[in-house]
Amino acid sequence: MEENQTVVTEFILLGFCVGPRIQVLLFGLFSLLYALTLLGNGAILGLVSLNPRLHTPMYFFLCHLAAVDIAYACNTVPQMLVNLLRPAKSISFAGCMAQTFLFMTFAHAESLLLVVMSYDRYVAICHPLRYSVVMSWRACTVLAITSWVFSFLLALVHVVLILRLPFCGPHEINHFFCEVLSVLKLACADTRLNKIVIFAACIFIVLGPLCLVLVSYTRILGAILRIQSGEGRRKAFSTCSSHLCVVGLFFGSAIILYMAPKSHHPEEQQKILLLFYSFFNPLLNPLIYSLRNRDVKGALRRRLFKESRSQLE
């Protein structure tokens, strides 16, 4: 290492290039949305745990998705809120690496969980008589644990490859959190291996799962069209359309962000896309599932009615 190289112990997050008044406005808006994200996903976790009718494989995986969404928000939003009001916007090197690792772990986990949820719907609609055998609680537990472990290990590979790189300055990250591509721009060495691994991971963790989801829903669509009962067809469409909305939001954002050609203003567009990817997706997921799912809405009404009746007594 050259003598004029210095070890970077912290990074500066540049965040959003806006005036002080806009920063205060964004702080209030993002604080509200953050609270709604925690409330919405927390409500799903609470309803599923308290209502025995929702103790099914579909809601088991939905709880894991809600946990991922809460973790997403807690990993990036608090730091972003602090930086909107604090002039020094610094983050330690260790904290930055931890934030990158957690973000990638949760991103990979959500991708795999969406595949598992599509498979669950495929078995439920296309092979209803075998559903209890194929999607047993043991199988569900194995699928969930496998998704988390694989996500953890893949994210660990990315972070280990980053840690081998020297960082000698500048130390300003043009982002609101330690996003992996933004961190790599500050490395004082060749990062081609890191980018190749990131692109390969996108193929296996984005395009691969997306193809599996599309195959599952192509077969599901064919099975739904063969259902004779109008009520049964409507219920199947309602359940699957909710999942497809989440799939479209997640994979669409990921493909544009990490696999699409870069535009003339990649950094600013990347901030907006990642804000949607890691902030608004966790907020929208519980709204999509609760507004388009009769079981969740029914459980919520029963819980609220029970609480109000107990207060009156």
So what's the pLDDT on residue 147? 95
The position carrying tokens 């050259």 is 2
Average per-residue pLDDT in the chain?
82
Cα separation of 187 and 189, whole Å?
6
Measured distance CA(126)–CA(288) in Å, rounded: 24
Confidence band for 3, pLDDT divided at 50, 70 and 90: very low
Instruction: Return the closest-CA partner of residue 69 out of 98, 88, 47, 43.
Output: 43
Compare 16 and 289 and report the one with higher pLDDT: 16
Phi-psi region of 15 (alpha: psi -120 to 50; beta: other; left: phi over 0): left
Most confident of 118-122, 226-230, 245-249: 118-122
Give the whole-angstrom CA distance, residue 59 versus residue 61.
Answer: 5
**pLDDT for the residue 199:** 87
Q: How far apart, in whole angstroms, are the C-alpha atoms of residue 287 and residue 242?
A: 10
Residue 273 in contact with residue 234, Cβ under 8 Å? no
Q: Exposed, middle or buried: residue 94 (CB in 10 Å: 0-12, 13-18, 19+)?
A: exposed
SS3 165: coil
Cβ burial of 4 (10 Å; 0-12, 13-18, 19+) is: exposed
Q: At residue 258, does pLDDT exceed 80?
A: no
* Per-domain boundaries in the chain: 10-306
Q: What is 10-306's CATH topology?
A: Rhopdopsin 7-helix transmembrane proteins (1.20.1070)
Per-residue pLDDT of 52-83, as tens digits, reads: 888 889 889 989 999 999 998 899 888 888 88
Peptide bond into 282 cis (omega under 30): no
Task: Tell me: pLDDT of 304 over 70.
Answer: no
How does pLDDT run across 92-112, given as a tens digit for each residue?
Answer: 899 999 999 999 999 999 999
Sheet of strand 10-13: strand arrangement: 90-92, 10-13, 172-173
3-class secondary-structure state, position 15: coil
Q: Per residue in 139-156, pLDDT tens?
A: 999 999 999 999 999 999
**110 vs 37, 60, 70, 298, CA distance in Å?**
16, 14, 12, 26
Report d(CA 227, CA 140) in Å as an integer: 27
End-to-end CA distance of the chain, in Å? 74
DSSP state of 52: G
What does pTM read for this prediction? 0.85
